[in-house]
Amino acid sequence: MEPIDILTYMGIAMAGCALILFLMILIQVARRIMTILVPLAKIPTPKKTLVKNIEPKPKERNNMDEKKEGVTFNDLFMFMIAVPLVLLWVGFAGFVIHSGLGDAAVLENIEAYTTLIAILGGPALLIIKDALDVWKQEQAEKTAFYKLKAQAVIDYNKSQQEQAQMIEAKQQDHEHKQKK
């Protein structure tokens, strides 16, 4: 199999990924439109009911329930589209470089390949930048948390020391008053 055939197949695979991305976005838009239109179609009719005073039950908090999060569209987007797009971009660029070093036919069509790499590179670089921004934000939050924790330990130790000094001063004052 020639490198040009492989590059053609990779281009077709990338077009398929773009089609899947378009369909996922279209489905999400349709879902949002349906969630807006369906409640509008269901107009409630007024009914006569007896009004009862119902006290809300206190909610029991469970730490395990708070930690569970559903899979969002953004999660699906990252794992099904963004990650493969970045990997495909890097792999395709590496393959073009590797093939171009050994095959003159690839060098003849290098403009088409570099254009394809540039087209894939735009979204891939944006995805990488966003991922790095999220990582930086997480690191900043960790740093702020550890600074806050360290300050709490310092404040605690300071108050413990002040309390111990106060107890010792009062004890000495008490002993001094008893000697008189």
Query: Dihedral sign, CA of 153, 159, 161, 163?
Result: negative
Examine residue 50 and state whether it is found in any structural domain, yes or no: no
Asked if residue 124 is part of any domain, the answer here is yes
Return d(Cα 28, Cα 20) in angstroms, integer.
12
pLDDT (0 to 100) of residue 46: 55
Q: What is the pLDDT of residues 77-112, one digit of tens each?
A: 677 777 777 888 888 888 887 777 777 777 788 888
Asked if residue 125 is part of any domain, the answer here is: yes
Residues 155-180, mean pLDDT to the nearest whole number? 92
Residue 122: per-residue pLDDT: 83
Report the number of distinct structural domains present in the chain.
Answer: 1
Q: What range does the domain containing 119 cover?
A: 3-40+73-179
* pTM recorded for the entire structure: 0.43
- Within-domain flag for 15: yes
Asked whether residue 126 is domain-assigned, the answer is yes
Residue 16 C-beta-side C-alpha neighbours within 13 Å: 9
Which residue pairs from 167-170 have beta carbons closer than 8 angstroms and sit at least 24 positions apart in sequence? none
Whether residue 62 is predicted with pLDDT greater than 90 in this model: the reply is no
In a domain, 138, yes or no: yes
pLDDT at position 50, please? 52
